[in-house]
Structure 1
Amino acid sequence: MDSLRTARARLKSAQRVVVLTGAGISKPSGIPTFRDAAGLWKDFDPEEYATPQAYARNPQKVWEWYAWRYKNVMQAQPNRAHALLVELEEQKGEGFLLVTQNVDGLHPRAGSKRLVELHGNIARGRCETCQERFPLPDPAHFTPPPTCPACGARGRPDVVWFGELLPPGAFERAERAFAQAEVALVIGTSAEVEPAASLGRIAHLSGAYLIEINPEPTPLTRLADCALPIGAVEGMEALLG
């Protein structure tokens, strides 16, 4: 496996760079991950809060849980890893794309522009009738459920639940960028949730230089040209600091 020095050099010289982020990049901001020992799914059953069936059974229960998460997320701030990805985007320009599985909105709040949010954004609602997407009110003044500003119907959280399709065109854009990349950087994800988990493999099979930053080994680790077994902030500082 290549050295950190080689990975830094490859990242610096590449013109086409893609990044995939998961919950691990937001953990230093105080947002819990889903599957580790202190993750959300330890205390909350996803079948009760994160499926279309759960919402159909009890939309108020689901909305109150998302309103609680929304309030916590908006109290969190982007961390150094988010900021370094903004700097990397500024360096690479049109050749850069950031794909995130996170719904916390920390990447756009940090300043990321070339961004695909595969699983939506917890700070938005989506109309159940006309599908209009709209920002939620400030958490301090938000009583769920929200009302669509376009047609007045009830809105649901604008996130992708288990069993739902990704937003139209989102994965296709991500897949195309990973297939064309010179360097692919995968940060803070278990590489187990499809279809996002396949993006690193697509880049590897297409000849990209693959860098992984994750404290624990993942199914992608053995394919990585450089695997850094550290947290997102430490990893990004090692690559770009």
Structure 2
Amino acid sequence: MKKRQWQNWGPGEQAEQHYLVQPRALAGGGDVRHISEFLRASGWRDKSKKGGPLLVESPDRTVRIAYDPYVLPGGWTIHGRAGSRNSEWSAHLGRQTPVEIVAGLTDALTRPRSAHAPNVWAPLEEQNWHTRFEGQDYTATSPDGTTWMQYQQSPDGTAMWWTGAKDRQGHGWTANFTPSTPMHLVQAFSAELASPDPVMRPRGRIPLSAQIRTRSVSVKPSQLSAWQQARVTSARAAAWAHNSARSTRSRATARPDISVGGARAHR
């Protein structure tokens, strides 16, 4: 094992073939660690059972994120408990939803909410998606027609966000969010959904689709490791800054110690 590591990770390491894939929505699921390691570094608790599906919980225990590839249809389930600012909400994302797009939502769960009013459609319109009303529904479709996002309202008053991607062969994924899902999270998701940037996949992990464009790149294992570590480091730094700020606010609002003549006063 040591010899193999020296050959692949040392000064003479071998570059490996990867592919930059566009559109990103059709690139396949990707490496789940892109999400799980970021959340752990952000202070989320790993509640997974050995050999079982992924399950992580937010530090305040209000949100749980699960990924289960062992059942059909499988995929991501994100559930938020009712709190002072939100009603109970949930999101379900198919197994082939690219992790980079899922991370738009899950990363946003680790950050403070912006003071600006969220606009789910803004990132899509910035990338020239086509928007239209269809009865009670509002839909945005990517310029190549492979990806969509829709706010659906049924005659009985129920509503949901529905999104996904599909090629001409019918391969792809869908996802849905309850209407109570915080809007800033849906916007963070839509921003990654609409991003024109390609995503990287290793050889052998590219979906077969005539609508995918790929570009071959050679990447060293140490480069991949450095990119992954940079993402984890940024999560740890953000978590540290958030905890430090919260600790400072707690000390600032703590009740002062009232003393009389050098002795503590008691009631």
* Structure that is richer in helix per residue: 1
Q: Structure 1 length as normaliser, TM-score? A: 0.28
Flag the structure with higher strand content.
2
TM-score (norm 2): 0.26
Q: Which has the larger radius of gyration?
A: 2
